Homo-oligomer: A and B are copies of this chain.
Amino acid sequence: MENTTPFDILITGGTLLTMSGAMEIIDNPVIGIRNGRIVVVEKGDDAPAAKFTARETLNATGCVILPGLVNTHNHLPMACFRGLADDLPLMEWLHDRMFPTEAKYVNRHMVYDGSRLAMAEMILSGTTTFCDGYFYESGVAQAAIDMGMRGVVSQGFLDFATPDHPDPSKNIRIAESFIDKWKDRSPLISPALFCHTPYTCTAETLITLKQVAREGHCLYISHVAETQDETRLIRERYGTTSIRYLYQLGVLDERTICVHAVWVDEEELDMLRDTDAKVSHNPESNMKLAVGVAPVPAMLRKGITVGLGTDGCASNNDLDLFREMGTAARLHKVAMMDPTVLDARTALSMATIGGARVLGMEDRIGSIEPGKCADLIFVNMDKPHLTPLYQVYSHLVYAASGADVTTAIINGKLLMKDRKLLHADLEDIMEKVRKIGAMIADNK
């Protein structure tokens, strides 16, 4: 029966990294996709492609096929601020540059246009799922639907006026209506709530919004323990440290993502493990903003689930998760003076199945197995910088870049082929953001 109904897409050839439990690698596989799902994954020798029919057949010869990468932390609309302010201390960067720029220029259109640009960049560099947190987040959700990307869209909250919501007393109602609006709207979209930080949100906001998230079965995200300044602030105000504070408030659980988690002590690691709270690790942002090095190898040893994120373009400044993998694998080696602490396979796991676990979506994405959503990419290994090939994990982490990704399929839909976006007008998207950039540059 299955063999007689044509696939939407049939993939043959290449080398498949399943990233499933057994980390099976299949040379010359056959992968069948139907109705957005992976329905067949077999060795080509066992299941010759000729026995299947398909509307579209993709030949992956010379490529590695792997699950689309999962970017666990982003502020996609900030693509509009890429390179606007670099090489500044974080608090100056945030309070003197980012917040005023956001107050003036963030609006519904900027969010939609900036998100589409960021999504184009992500698809072109092999990311198929993102987790975003920003203002006017419905614009991000709409952009994802229009671009065909999978995403967790988290409406952002602070306890002062934000670009989209001048009155923080209405935060609960806004949160509830955001979840209502996007729940079950599209298979691509999962709504969530994003409390900016434990020092820009009051305890009441942190607690009540977690309650709203729990009622909606949604993710709850916060920047936590990013800087020493934050640690000092939290200690001054609450006599404790950031993770401890959230633990005491009762907001840590398996659907809470702690973004950054740089300044975390041993006992706090235990709190993360015991509550099954997740960590989004953003090494390039942490380096560029000079905030410190998160104890990721210790987290992994404890069994804490860690995914990779790029953070927004204002602090990275690109969204290439291949680079982020390479940076993660290198950074922890030098930080711990031990080249064995985070190997290539672990880095790739963090960017695929690990990221899926962070988002609570490991039943749907993060590996290539029958029954999962068809989110996958091809990386062209036929390049001088990927030659010769001894070990595929090594090349993907230490030598490949997003520019080596040729093909991207999300939810069973072919979005990129031969590095061309098939369902987006890239020139138009770039032109719209250039206009926003020109306005900001001219301070208009």
Contacts and interface: CB of A to CB of B under 8 A. Distances in A.
A303 interface: no
Nearest to A124: B384
A430 B290 contact: no
Interface residues of A, number: 73
A227 to B, nearest CB: 10
A87 to B, nearest CB: 4
Contact of A86 (B89, B120, B337, B343): B343
A384 B121 contact: yes
A189 to B, nearest CB: 22
Contacts of A433: 387-388
Contacts of A287: 330-331, 333-334
A376 interface: no
A83 B390 contact: yes
A331 B327 CA distance: 10
A320 interface: yes
A185 interface: no
A403 B313 CA distance: 19
B438 A388 contact: yes
Interface in A377-405: 382, 384-385, 387-391, 394-395, 398-399, 401-404
Given A385-B121, A390-B84, A330 B288 contact: yes
Contact of A391 (B86, B288, B382, B391): B86
A385 B318 CA distance: 6
Nearest to A431: B387
Interface in A323-372: 323, 326-327, 329-331, 333-334, 336-340, 343-344
Question: Considering residues A86, A90, A319, which has the most beta carbons from chain B within 10 angstroms of its beta carbon?
Answer: A86
A273 to B, nearest CB: 25
A35 to B, nearest CB: 30
A292 B336 CA distance: 9
Contact of A389 (B83, B385, B394): B83
Contacts of A79: 387
Nearest to A395: B83
Contacts of A121: 384-385
Copies in the complex: 2
A316 interface: yes
Contact of A387 (B117, B326, B385): B117
A288 B333 contact: yes
B334 A398 contact: no
Given A83-B398, A317-B395, A403-B403, A334 B388 contact: no
Interface in A387-425: 387-391, 394-395, 398-399, 401-404
Contact of A284 (B80, B330, B394): B330
B338 A290 contact: yes
A175 to B, nearest CB: 31
B401 A401 contact: yes
A384 B288 contact: no
Interface in A230-261: none
A318 B399 contact: yes
A426 interface: yes
B339 A89 contact: yes
A436 interface: yes
Question: Considering residues A82, A323, A433, A440, which has the most beta carbons from chain B within 10 angstroms of its beta carbon?
Answer: A82
Contacts of A323: 323, 326, 401
Interface of A: 79-80, 82-84, 86-90, 93, 117, 120-121, 124-125, 228, 284, 286-293, 313, 316-320, 323, 326-327, 329-331, 333-334, 336-340, 343-344, 382, 384-385, 387-391, 394-395, 398-399, 401-404, 426, 429-430, 433-434, 436-438, 440-441
Q: Closest 9 interchain pairs by CB?
A: A388-B437, A403-B403, A287-B330, A83-B394, A290-B339, A290-B333, A317-B398, A87-B343, A287-B334
Given A288-B398, A313-B399, 10 more contacts: A83-B388, A83-B395, A89-B338, A290-B334, A290-B339, A292-B337, A327-B330, A331-B334, A382-B430, A388-B440
